[in-house]
Chain A
Amino acid sequence: MKIAVCVKQVPDSWAEKKLRDGDAILDRESVEGVMNELDEYAVEEALKIVEANGSGEVVVVSMGPDRAAEAVRKALSMGADSGIHLADASLAGSDAVATSYALAKVIDGRGFDLVLFGSESTDARMSVVPAMVAERLGLAQLTFANKVEVAGGSVTIDRVSDNGIETITATLPAVVSVVEKINEPRYPSFKGIMAAKKKPVETLSAADAGLDTAQIGLGAAWSKVDSFAARPPKAAGVVVQDEGNGGIAIADFLAAQKVL
């Protein structure tokens, strides 16, 4: 059982995030980077599958600037066996389509039985890359799983959908994305952190990965930001005294905010 887990280094989900003036790319320098929280669930699930299977290998795959190596290390300290870090200046500004292209290129041909993802990243929140990678690799897509079972060369998941739960099954290899609550990601033990320092991480450039530079980076992005504006800082809220119509006042407020 050989599992790839794709992880992304994202700005801390609680920090204020900004787009850079000029190229409208997320300003990743100004905020603390962390491993995308949902990817922790994917790493945990991969480790669990290998543990249940009795043997196997978990390879972390990440694309991003040098700092993304931290996310790879984090996954290694949780227990993954090795890492692949795709880092190249020409990748900066890649959109989801380009990202899926690059990831698929890296994953393809390495003999993975499973490719695991978190169901979304906390910065872009698009939830499209797993589907795109499945499409590109021609693999079965089993996404938004809150339960994954691997047995006898096939994988079965419970997909969380708007209408309930769908059970989906496919023979391996397959692409799986997991939602929060599928498991409780382990906290890396100190032993794990130490061991991670010695685990192999393959750093690839765009050329190493055989990427066509015309298909990656900001220049190749197929969606362009025309303009952006930071919302004015959240104005102090309105607090009213209930004079018999407090409930209606809230309903009016919710309607104005389009949540009702």
Chain B
Amino acid sequence: MESDMVLRLIVGLALTIGILAFAGRRMAFLVKLARSGKPASGRLTDPTARVEAEAVEVLGQRKLLKWTIPGIAHVFAFWGFLVLGATILEVYGALFISDFAIPIVGHWSLVGFLEDLFGLLVLVGISIFAILRLRNNPEKRGRWSRFFGSHTSGAWIILFMIFNVVWTLFLYRAAQYNTGVFPFMDGGAFVTETVASWLEPLGETANEWLETIGIWLQIAVVLLFLLIVLHSKHLHIGAAPVNVFTSRRPNALGPLLPMMYNGEPLNFEDPPEDALFGKGHIAEFTWKGYVDFMSCTECGRCQSQCPAWNTEKPLSPKLMIMNLRDTMFAQSDYLLAAKGKHPGLGEFDEAALNSLSPEVRAEVERPFIGSREGSEHSAEDGYTFDGHRSTGADLAIIDEEALWNCTTCGACVNQCPVDIEHIDHFIDMRRNQVMIASDFPTELNGLFKNLENKGNPWGMNASDRNAWIGEVDFDVAVFGANGEDTIPADVDYLFWVGCAGAFEDRAKRTTKNVAELMHIAGVKFMVLGEGETCTGDPARRAGNEFLFQMQAAQNVEVLNEIKATKIVVTCPHCLNTLKREYPQLGGNYDVVHHTELLNDLVKAGRLTPVNKIDKTVTYHDPCYLGRHNKIYTPPRELVGATVENTVEMERSGDKSFCCGAGGARMWMEEKIGTRINQNRGDEAIATGAKRIAVACPFCSVMLNDAVTSRQQEEGRAVGVEVVDVSTLLLNATKS
């Protein structure tokens, strides 16, 4: 017996030390790799929110539970692993003392019960995962499987390893039960007892051996699992909690991050020589970026929601992140060795470069962003269904087509269970393409020129900004018309009309509606007229941060000078920029969307819808109103107040599907795949609603185009109209 225990201990410890040595080296490497990233600032501010995020998103698994069945399966696995931490303690204890029990609680039946229960639930969890993977097999379903491009064989190995963890657990526990050294002899461990009853007939010696072998197996499997985790996408077990803790709070939506230099906002007037303008190489990402990449579990929730991927374009947020991760690992020798330097500008650390193997060096020097046109699987960002990507020394790592596909709708960020900040990375790469490489879709030339020269995307004359005022039959106060140099105290709101609101026909109608409704409700408002220019949203989303900074600085200066406080807008993009991004430049305003203001006015009885519209209406959430700014309810309440019937699209609320115009896509051609606006328009039409209510001028254009093109087909979308919510309200208010 004594010699048996010595053997048990020697083998167990040998296994542990051997494997832990490997694991430790890998962990040290991973930590060093993450730390080799560029500095990221503000990642530890507001610790309360971070602890809360850890509690809600990691322990509470909230984002995973957005999807019920896979969410529950993951809860089983996750909590199973937390609870089974106790069994790890027990198994190591049993190496030294055959009847080891955890002090104090070690013999409680409840503990034994929980251990067994969660062991079982882990099995249930992985069974569900297996079924999901079989039903959603990317080999059969192609890009319509969220697992398309994920490393499926790796995932199966993980599931198999978890299965091994569980059965070896129950094997040694059952044997312990039969040899009488089990800590929970008094009941509770119901699974162990059942398995023990199967092993009992084998006899005592056999059970003694099974006990020792089971313990070895358990230790070996757990350690092996650890090793696999550290070398696979299952790294998220360790990386995700760090990533969630250091993520942008409340989430990485709404404002984009300013460009930073050594933790300070970059001074565009006189930038330091070694400042980075976006990301033009994997070496230029921050440590938070690297942790993002390490955290990706390849679950494909982002991919399943992505408007680009769903319309057969190369971009998948998941594949993009996987690609960045693979690039990070492939070039890790350089990342760990290089000091300073800006590979994106072609400035490498020569010493580091020379220390590399020829293969790694070729990887480091590969073009980072560029065309992959004509290369293998280019329609799927180069990926095969099972995660292999075409490569080659001259082939760019990031497909520029995929990079420009992004509408910044935020569905990926909103979905991601581990808080990866996809949009920030994409915009950073766009920034490099615009400000350093000067290599971007040619259509954007016109946009940039018009914004620079005319202050609006279409190149209209500023003198036409007030054209709409001539088309309404009440007075509209224009700032400065009576010589005022600040906004008079009796003005309730500065009405920021926006470029679309001033120049685009349908949006102009919204402008007039909102003005009229405010007029009816007795809200005093004033417009800037010719003094207004674009907020800079399209420039910023297109990666032209320099242009954005110029426009934003100019607008903030004007708004601060005239002492603007409360602002109402009709465009969610203006809302996001004015309300969420201008604080980065010292502009702090109380900004509301017209649906919020109008809803308040209806609730306060200052506007009364009298004629409810007897048409069924479906409401489309604009990304920059909904996901980016969490305004879901006011427009719905407003629609509800003006119509008899409403119907929701399947993808609504925070799962709303983009119209295709965001991320400066409004100003680019959509040449690949099917059309995003058509995809969304068809969904809206399929609800049977006769009115599609929108709350964004760009959604209005896109969905109207989609509906009109369907109406050219016989008998389709008959009588369907796209209308702004304000139109519904105005029609209902006027008798």
Indicate yes or no for A touching B, C-beta below 8 A. yes
Of the residues B268, B277, B345, B438, contact of A187 by C-beta under 8 Å: B438
User: Which residues of A have CB within 8 Å of B569?
Assistant: none
Contacts of B435 in A (CB 8 A): 189-191
Q: Cβ of B454 and Cβ of A189 under 8 Å apart?
A: no
Q: For chain A residues 161-212, which have a beta carbon within 8 Å of chain B?
A: 184, 186-194
- Which of A12, A32, A187, A190 has a CB less than 8 Å from the CB of B445? A187
Flag if A14 contacts B459 (CB, 8 Å): yes
**Are B434 and A14 touching (Cβ within 8 A)?**
no
User: A16 an interface residue at 8 Å Cβ cutoff?
Assistant: yes
Q: Is A255 an interface residue (CB 8 A)?
A: no
Residues of chain A within 8 A (CB-CB) of B41 are none
Determine if A187 and B448 form an interchain contact, defined as CB atoms under 8 angstroms apart: yes
Q: Select which of A14, A15, A16, A192 is within 8 A of B438 by beta carbon.
A: A192
Q: Which residue of B lies closest to A14 (CB)?
A: B459
Partner of A193, one of B440, B454, B463, B546: B546
The 8 A CB mask of B416-445 against A (1 = contact, 0 = none) is 000000000000000000111110101011
Asked if A34 is at the interface (CB within 8 A of a chain B CB), the reply is: yes
Q: Are A184 and B442 in contact (CB under 8 A)?
A: yes
Most buried by B among A14, A184, A186, A187: A187
Determine the distance from Cα of A192 to Cα of B546 in the docked complex, in whole angstroms.
12
Nearest A residue to B546 by beta-carbon distance?
Answer: A190
Contact with B along A73-100 (1 / 0, CB 8 A): 0000000000000000000000000000
Given A187-B448, A191-B277: A14 and B437 within 8 A (CB)? no
Q: How far is the CA of A190 from the CA of B268 in the complex (A)?
A: 9
Which residue from chain B places its CB closest to the CB of A79 in the assembled complex? B438
Q: Is the CB of B461 within 8 A of A190?
A: no
A63 CB to nearest B CB, Å: 22
Report A-chain residues with C-beta under 8 Å of the C-beta of B268: 190
Q: Mark A4-31, 1 if CB is under 8 A from B, else 0.
A: 0000000010111000000000000000
Q: Does any Cβ of A come within 8 Å of B271's Cβ?
A: yes
A12 to B453, CA, bound (A): 7
Is the pair B271, A194 in contact by a Cβ cutoff of 8 Å?
yes
Residues of chain B lying within 8 A (CB to CB) of residue A184:
442, 445
Closest chain B residue to A186, Cβ basis: B438
Distance in angstroms from B721 CB to nearest chain A CB is: 24
A16 and B442 alpha carbons, distance in the complex (Å): 27
Asked if A190 and B440 make an inter-chain contact with CB atoms under 8 angstroms apart, the answer reads no
Using Cβ atoms and an 8 Å threshold, which residues of chain A touch B277?
190-191
Chain A residues with Cβ under 8 A from B271's Cβ? 194
Contact, CB under 8 Å: A189 / B453: no
Evaluate contact between A191 and B453: CB separation under 8 angstroms. no
Interface of A is mostly: loop
A50 CA to B442 CA, complexed, in Å: 23
Contact residue among B442, B444, B445, B454 (Cβ-Cβ distance under 8 Å from A14): B454
Residue of A nearest to B435 (CB): A190
Number of interface residues of B (CB under 8 A): 20
Instruction: Find out whether the CB atom of B461 lies under 8 angstroms from the CB atom of A15.
Output: yes
* Residues of A close to B440: CB separation below 8 A: 187
A55 to B277, CA, bound (A): 27
- CB neighbours of A192 from chain B (8 A): 438
Within 8 A of A (CB), among B458-491: 459, 461, 463
* A212 → chain B closest CB, angstroms: 36
- Total chain A interface residues with beta-carbon distance under 8 A: 16
Contacts of A16 in B (CB 8 A): 461, 463
Minimum CB–CB distance from A128 to chain B (whole Å) comes to: 26
Could you tell me the distance in whole angstroms from the C-beta of A254 to the nearest C-beta in chain B?
Answer: 27
Give Cα A243 to B453, complex, Å: 44
Residue A191 contacts which of B436, B459, B461 (CB distance < 8 angstroms)?
B436
CA distance A34 to B277 in the complex (A): 26
Question: Whole-angstrom distance from the CB of A28 to the nearest CB of chain B?
Answer: 15
Residue among B271, B435, B436, B448 with the highest chain A CB neighbour number at 10 A:
B435
Can you name the residue of chain A whose Cβ is closest to the Cβ of B458?
A14
CB B371 to nearest CB in A, in angstroms, measures 15
Smallest CB-CB separation from A37: which chain B residue? B449
State in angstroms the CA–CA spacing of A16 and B277 once bound together.
37
B437 touching A189, Cβ below 8 Å: yes
Q: Which of A14, A186, A189 contacts B461 (CB 8 A)?
A: A14
Interface string of A237-248 (1 = CB under 8 A from B): 000000000000
Contact status A190-B436, CB under 8 Å = yes
The answer to whether A32 and B453 touch across the interface, beta carbons within 8 angstroms, is yes
B461: A residues at CB distance < 8 A: 14-16
Closest A residue, CB atoms, query B273: A194
Name which residue of chain A comes closest to B450, CB basis.
A14
Provide the bound-state CA to CA distance between A192 and B268, in Å. Answer: 13
Q: For residue A185, which residue of chain B has the nearest CB?
A: B445
What's the minimum C-beta distance from B342 to chain A, rounded to whole angstroms?
Answer: 11
A192's nearest neighbour on chain B, judged by CB, is B438
Q: Which residues of B contact A34 (CB under 8 A)?
A: 453
Nearest opposing residue in chain A for B460, CB measure: A14
Which A residues lie within 8 Å of B463 (CB)?
A: 16
Beyond A187-B445, A191-B277, A194-B271, whether A32 also contacts B438 by CB under 8 A is no
- Nearest-neighbour CB distance to chain A for B550, whole angstroms, equals 11
Q: Which residues of B contact A32 (CB under 8 A)?
A: 453-454
Q: Chain B: which residue is nearest A190 at the CB level?
A: B435
Contact code string A112-149 (vs B, CB < 8 Å = 1, else 0): 00000000000000000000000000000000000000
- Distance in Å: Cβ of A41 to nearest Cβ of chain B: 13
Find the A residue at minimum CB distance from B277. A190
| Chain A residues whose C-beta falls within 8 Å of the C-beta of B438 in the assembled complex | 186-189, 192
Residues of chain A within 8 A (CB-CB) of B453 are: 12, 14, 32, 34
| Chain A positions within 8 Å of B546 at CB level | 190, 193
In the bound complex, how far is the Cα of B202 from the Cα of A200, in angstroms? 93
A63 to B442, alpha carbons, bound, how many Å? 30
- Minimal Cβ-Cβ distance residue in B for A189: B438
CB distance from A195 to the nearest CB of B (A): 11
Shortest distance in angstroms between B272's beta carbon and chain A's nearest beta carbon? 11
Per-residue CB proximity of B239-277 to A under 8 Å, as 1/0?
000000000000000000000000000001001000001
For A189, the chain B residues whose CB sits under 8 A away are: 434-438
Quick one: which of A189, A190, A194 has the most chain B CB within 10 A?
A190
- Residues in B with CB closer than 8 Å to A194 are 271
**How far apart are the CA atoms of A104 and B438 in the complex, in Å?**
34
Residues in A with CB closer than 8 Å to B437 are: 189
Besides A14-B454, A189-B437, 19 new A-B residue pairs in contact (Cβ under 8 A), listed by A number: A12-B454, A14-B461, A15-B461, A16-B461, A16-B463, A32-B453, A32-B454, A34-B453, A187-B434, A187-B438, A188-B438, A189-B438, A190-B268, A190-B277, A190-B546, A191-B277, A191-B435, A193-B546, A194-B271
A sample of 16 cross-chain residue pairs with beta-carbon separation below 8 angstroms, ordered by A number, consists of A14-B459, A14-B461, A15-B461, A16-B463, A34-B453, A184-B445, A187-B434, A187-B438, A187-B440, A187-B445, A187-B448, A189-B435, A191-B435, A191-B436, A192-B438, A194-B271
A-B pairs with lowest CB-CB distance, top 7: A190-B435, A189-B438, A190-B546, A12-B453, A187-B438, A34-B453, A190-B277
Interface, chain A (partner B; CB < 8 A): 12, 14-16, 32, 34, 184, 186-194
